[in-house]
Structure 1
Amino acid sequence: MDKHWQANWIRHPDFQGIAPIGLLHKETQPQPEHLHPSELKHHHSLFRKEINLAAEQMEKIRLDISADDYYKLYINGAYVAQGPAQGYPFHYHYNRLDVTPYMTVGLNIIAVHVYYQGLVNRAYNSGDLRQGLIAELTTAGQTVPLAETDESWRCARTVEYGTGDAATTGYDTQYIEHIDSRLAFRGWRAADYDDSGWMKPATLGLEHAGYTLFEQPTPPVEVYRKKPDRVQRIGEDHYLVDFGEEVTGQFTMRARGEAGTVIEVRCGEELDDHGRVRYEMRCNCNYREQWTLSGHEDELEPFDYKAFRYVEIIGPGGILDERTFAAVVRHYPLSPGQSGSFRSEERLLNGIWDICGRAVRSCAQESYVDCPSREKGQYLGDNTVIGHAHLYVSGDSRLVRKGLRDFALSTAVCPGMMAVAPGNFMQEIADFSCQWPMQLLTYYRHTGDTAFLQEMLPIADGIVDYFRKYQRADGLLADVKEKWNLVDWPENLRDGYDFPLTRPVGNGCHNVINALYYGCMKTVQELKDELQVEYEDRLPAFKAAFLAAFYRPESGLFADSENSVHSSLHAGVFPLLFGLAPEQAVPALVAEIRRKRFSCGVYMAYFVLKALARVDEHPLIYELITGDDEHSWSQMLREGATSCFEAWGKEQKWNTSLCHAWGSAPIPVLIEDIIGLKPASPGWEEISFEPRLPPGMKPFHLRIAVPAGIVEVRYDGAEAELVLQDQTLRRPAGG
């Protein structure tokens, strides 16, 4: 806890006397038995506090605020912020906000909408019966808060969004919000609202509430309105709205009709064969909702967010104001001065960069999410790709750092780390755990944050130690049954990997988990080299055992398992990436990649490209990125992508989401391995610029923000020019 709170945790009286449920457990162990009252699910509560301020109190007014599960804050009727980033109760976040611009001399109203979902899923830390709000308002030079959460606040439950018996969508990801504006507390955010009929909240001292609060290390999400690119009137009572690109957020509009009038709102990522919104989405979300009008002028304000491009609106004619149609977009803040940009004379390359960049933007929320629709969860393996790309898209390393800590905290459940964090949804994937040290090394190389590296090193050591219990006599891992052995996802994109990847995994010893474990150990040793920490080098012995088990000298390839004769793409990529492959095997492994191309999932493409970069196969990297195969980013563009997909094409997975940032590998690979721009020392204090541009690559302009400043690379078709502040460095295209 990084501050002394004088405030109490306040709760809606519905939760008074309710004890929290402990839901953390190993995935392979039974979920703790508990009974969650349905009437406390999908619980929306409103909190209000009036405060009078004098002129001398108007300097640097700060609000520290947190809620469980989530809040939206309004001051004097104006939207201010929302949050917090989800966290475990033992490391829960609060937001520190400068609210000076929203306050005025005299009467002010602080209004907070708090949502408790009550489901166990990837999106919220919920289902544990923890609910409430804590806040302190302070001003410069005063140690006593101007206001704090206590019994002087007023609260009420609103059921305009439905109750706990409402339908859910996705993987129990969110409730369908059939909003009934007749049940709303109209004007509740305004100072002149009469809340005399509201209740006093239940109070609970922070020490008894079971939270340890830390200031959120990242800013709240950026929220803004986007107007449609196109509005088509299908009939008097029927509109089709196109925002021109996939967005993450809510759809909003205004309408005035008789009380009880119902408007249907359908959202989706694509249109069906009849040109209508596909609201029964292929990603397993059903975005079909109803809005009931109050008889006054109403504004549609959904609470939860969706992933969508299109909206279809059906309602009686003459009551909808199409001028108010808008998307309320939300994502991690992107500063115009810091955001990365790339523009080429090659249209295809622009398209690939754009869909990857848009996916990264949409999937960067308070945490990284695998997709902003079906799951909304932060997956450890996805962060290998999205975090790396986001460093360049945003020029901001804070969300990567937060993601690393989120998963470090998950070791409270398992020292081998959880696959989803934070939260009460328990999933464990061995492949992903082995990647956490690699993410830590990427973060360190970009930031030079030695203090964080020192803090996190024991966590990395703990992962290595955890997997040692699966080592057999020769040191290789076998029967890693406590966690999923993923290899790749979905199953149909594993290139026939010959090992039973059931849950739990089949008996025996297979290639990919051992290659990843070697990469994990190797990376931890690199981290210790950076910190000058001594260690026993276990890599040579492990490498010898790996080669004995999986390497087939007659072909130069690696088998999927020690008892298999099949060599999948995956079985060769990781040995190539981590230096397990003998030098004489490299030509055969590269030839296999050239032949099989992306015979893998989109997530695995990152490792394919990075493996090729390690052995200087830059022309093949560029060929694969810009290829027009069925498994390519070109295929996504042909299918109308405005954000990269979960799979290479819509039909290649049974529940494909059309916004999935694990497909954003071209961004870091183009920058680091084709354009040749990398940190030569931690924190970009020195810059490596060794272009590996293929013949025929068209002119481009790249601009990124790094700790050393703004870096630009311009290529005119013959020579690449790097500009860093007042320094200019020129290189021929081939290095």
Structure 2
Amino acid sequence: MGWKITGGALLSLVCMCAHGAPTQRVDERPVEISRTPAGIYVVDFGRVAFGNLRLTAPASGTVTVHFGEASKDDRIDRKPPQTVRYNTASVELKANTAVVAAPPVDKRNTDIASPKHPPAILTPDEWGVVMPFRWVEIEGWTGALTPDQIVRQSVFAATWDDAAASFESSDAMLDRIWELCRYSIKATTFAGVYVDGDRERIPYEADAYLNQLSHYYTDFDKQMARDTFDRLMEYPTWPTEWAPHMVFMAHADWMHTGDADWLKPRYEALKTKTLMERRGADGLVASDAKDIKRDDIIDWPVGERDGYVRTGVNTVVNAFHIRSLEMMAELARAVGRNKEAGEFDSLAHASRERFQKTLFDAETGLFRDGAETDHTALHANLFPLAFGLVPQEARAAMAGWLAQRGMRCSVYAAQYLMEALFENGADEQALELILAENDRSWRHMVESGTTITWEAWDHKYKSNQDWNHAWGAAPANLLPRYVLGVEPLAPGWKTARIRPCVGGLEFAKGQVPTPRGAVRVAWKKPAPDRFSLSIVLPQGMDARVELPFVWETGGILCNGRPVKATPVGDRWVVDQAVEGTAVFEVRKN
């Protein structure tokens, strides 16, 4: 016999976790229940979520419950690869009484006194153990198992709004990638702060920043990013480049919220995250033997570094240093430290000049990995290009080189690779990499059947990868930022930039949540010489609109009337900011 239902969700206990934003248990019904010839019930909840079960049986007795992230031959995979989750528990049922069925405690992600890493983020004791699972098998159940007798108590952020964001395009696979990544952000909010999936359940700076970007584009919440920031200031982790990500997080908060009151008490501590303690008289950051061997991480896992050669003057490390100084100058002005802002500007300018002189090869138009090597890895160029550190005249060619090299980096560095491509006229190539029919793309994750993004592109690239890692969900922010084209141009979204990157798509539409309300965008390119864009902005926001060139453009209309626009690069930049609702049309002569 079998059941197939859509199932509803009922809100349960809301909890303010000790270390973060409020989370809540949500009752989720199964989408399918089946029974094997041996009498074992197989239950599918449709997607993986962190949680446990609530069982209500008609009779008392003992059952064995199996929890799994992966399936094999229509059953739970009880010997899944690497660190894909599986667990089992013996549960005592009481007739007509709700009983929590949870796996046993796993020391791996409940360790509060490990010398190897900061303490794990714990969920409330009264909830029982939670783990990520989609499938359940129950042995020993008396009679029929019906949907009202089994509930998954899934844990999500209490403020999560499923209607906050949307994305749809002319490419059905791209839409599936968006939904995989959107849900990945939701599913990994279970701890109240951003954690590294289910392995250690602790925040890491780079993971947290990528998580923050995608959270902003999928929900209205701002608190979880802030709580994660404060947690990381108390418990920092080891990689060199992870420290500047704290500056990135604070800057992202400033641009998203415009809240200087939150920033002010954290400003001084941010100065320690710029790598200034390693800066030499020449303006470049130096790496000692320990940094070269271990701390200068470049990318993770190690096999994703494209053969990068780490030296005493490291291109990637210096790129992070310079970008953090530039951001610190903006943050200093935000908190009224104008003199310090000028000092940060001067430091960044000096470092930038030396960086380009020492590490950029004008003959090849590319950066070398470091001052003591001629090797040129993908990473030595994707980070400088994403951070705007490449000479203007070399940017288009570098973007083309990066696109041709392909996804020779991890899901983490792919965030910056995609930014580098989208920002430098290579949007078609960026979308091709996202949709590539190989095992180093988000298409591969979708086609694998996973419902939360992976920690690495595939099992063969990381021996202990998690199947529930939000740093693999970059398209959750990339697609609305670049394909829809919606980004904050001024702190607090007072001014937005609307700059659609059309690639090879025929249309895209969606909604982006902001602190001022939702931004709605829809564009169409039905032919090479036609493009239209409609925008709905919330009150208190205006936008600078940048439209793609259409061959032999005869004019640009806004709400049916001609408007002036200035050609800048491969864009028409509309001269006047727009408010409210606006419909643009670009026509051929």
With normalisation by structure 2, the TM-score equals 0.78
How far apart are residue 347 of structure 1 and its match?
1.0
Contact 2:185–2:470, Cα closer than 8 Å, also in 1: yes
Residue number in structure 2 paired with 1:430:
240
Does structure 1 residue 720 correspond to structure 2 residue 533? yes
Secondary structure of 1:546 counterpart? helix
- Kindly report which structure 2 residues correspond to 1:164-243, keeping only aligned pairs within 5 A, or say none: 218=21, 220-243=22-45
In structure 2, relative to structure 1, the CA distance for the partners of 1:480 and 1:685 (3 Å cut) is: farther
* Structure 2 residue aligned with 1:269: 69
**What amino acid sits opposite 1:517 in the alignment?**
H
Query: Residue 276 and residue 572 in structure 1: after superposition, are their counterparts in 2 closer, same or farther (change >3 A)?
Result: same
C-alpha separation in 1, matches of 2:281 and 2:352: 14
Displacement of 1:480 after TM fit?
7.2
In 1, Cα distance between equivalents of 2:260 and 2:227: 15
Structure 1 residue 300: Cα displacement: 3.0
1:282-338 deviation digits (Å, cap 9, x = unpaired):
352653222242665552343111111111222265486664122111111345486
Tell whether the 8 Å contact from 2:254 to 2:263 is kept in structure 1 after alignment: yes
Q: Secondary structure at the match of 1:624?
A: helix
- For structure 1, list consecutive stretches of 5 or more residues without a partner in the other structure: 1-77, 87-215, 411-417, 420-427, 500-506
1:288 aligns with 2:113: no
1:395 pairs with 202, 220, 225, which one?
220
SS in 2 for 1:390: helix
Q: Measured at CA, do residues 408 and 241 of structure 1 come closer, stay the same or move farther in structure 2, by a change above 3 Å?
A: same
* Structure 2: distance between partners of 1:285 and 1:653: 12
Q: Secondary structure, in 3 states, of the residue corresponding to 1:568? A: coil
Alignment counterpart, residue 308 of structure 2, candidates 497, 509, 518 = 497
Q: Which amino acid aligns with 1:402?
A: D
Alpha-carbon RMSD across the aligned residues, in angstroms, is: 2.7
Letter in structure 1 aligned against 2:418: L
Secondary structure of 1:393's match? coil
Is the Cα–Cα contact under 8 Å of residues 368 and 386 in structure 1 kept in the other structure?
A: no
List aligned pairs for 1:536-551, cutoff 5 A.
536=343, 537-551=346-360
The answer (yes or no) to whether the contact 2:453–2:468 under 8 Å persists in 1 is yes
Deviations along 1:115-145, one digit per CA (max 9) or x if unpaired, are: xxxxxxxxxxxxxxxxxxxxxxxxxxxxxxx
Alignment of 1:576-591 (within 5 A): 576-591=385-400
1:308–1:335 distance in 2 versus 1, CA, 3 Å: closer
C-alpha distance 591-294 of structure 1, shift in aligned 2 (>3 A) = closer
The CA deviation at 1:663 is: 1.7
Q: Does 1:510 align with 2:314?
A: yes
2:246 is aligned with what amino acid?
W
User: Which of 386, 406, 410 matches 2:211?
Assistant: 386
Match of 2:194 among 343, 363, 369: 369
Distance in 1 (alpha carbons) for counterparts of 2:518 and 2:392: 38
Q: Is 1:558 aligned to residue 558 of structure 2?
A: no
Q: Deviations over 1:392-425 (max 9, x none)?
A: 2111212122222222334xxxxxxx12xxxxxx
Give the deviation of 1:228 after TM superposition: 1.2
Q: Is the 8 A contact 1:341 1:704 kept in 2?
A: yes
Q: Distance in 2 between matches of 1:540 and 1:369?
A: 33
Q: Output the amino acid matched with 1:278.
A: D
2:339 to 521, 528, 534: 534
Aligned to 2:265: 455
Give the Å deviation of 1:443. Answer: 1.1
Q: Distance in 2 between matches of 1:286 and 1:630?
A: 21
Do residues 658 (structure 1) and 472 (structure 2) align?
A: no
1:723 is aligned with what amino acid? V
**Cα distance in 2, alignment partners of residues 557 and 347 from structure 1:** 36
- Unaligned regions of 5+ residues in structure 2, if any? 1-10, 103-127, 526-530, 540-579
Query: What's the secondary structure of 2:290's corresponding residue?
Result: coil
Q: State the distance in 1 between where 2:450 and 2:205 align.
A: 25
Contact 1:256 1:319 in 2 (8 A): no
CA contact (8 A) 2:178 2:479 kept: no
- 1:390: Cα distance to partner? 0.5
> What is the CA distance between 1:358 and its match in structure 2?
0.8
Q: Is 1:357 aligned to residue 182 of structure 2?
A: yes
Aligned partner of 2:519 in structure 1 is 711
Q: CA deviation at 1:590?
A: 1.4
Find the counterpart in structure 2 of residue 632 from structure 1: 441
Per-residue deviation, 1:640: 1.3
Residue in structure 2 matching 1:698, options 503, 506, 509: 506
- Tell me, in whole angstroms, the C-alpha distance in 2 between the residues paired with 1:554 and 1:395: 47
Q: Cα–Cα, structure 1 residues 437 and 702, in superposed 2: closer, same or farther, change >3 Å?
A: same
1:309 — aligned with what?
Answer: 134
Q: Taking structure 1 as reference, are residues 489 and 617 closer, same or farther at Cα in structure 2, changes over 3 Å only?
A: same
What amino acid does structure 1 have at the position aligned with 2:445?
M
Q: Deviations over 1:660-685 (max 9, x none)?
A: 11122222222222322122321112
Q: Once the 2 structures are TM-superposed, how far is the Cα of residue 599 of structure 1 from its aligned partner?
A: 0.8
Deviation digits for residues 372-393 of structure 1, max 9, x if unmatched? 4222222211111111110121
* 1:715 alignment partner, SS class: strand
| Kept in 2: contact 1:476–1:546 (CA 8 A) | no
Distance in 2 of aligned mates of 1:403 and 1:480: 31
TM superposition shift of 1:715: 2.6
- Residue 268 of structure 1 aligns with an amino acid whose one-letter code is G
* Larger Rg over CA atoms: 1
SS at match of 2:497: strand
Name the CA shift for 1:471/1:683 in 2 (closer, same or farther; >3 Å). closer
CA distance in 2, matches of 1:598, 1:314: 44
| Structure 1 residues 697 and 534: alpha-carbon distance in aligned structure 2, compared to 1, 3 A threshold | same
Paired residue total: 498
Q: Counterparts of 2:93 and 2:522 in 1: how far apart (Å)?
A: 57
* Superposition deviation, residue 546 in structure 1: 2.4
- Classify the secondary structure of the residue corresponding to 2:374: coil
Judge conservation of contact 1:242–1:311 (CA < 8 Å) in 2: yes
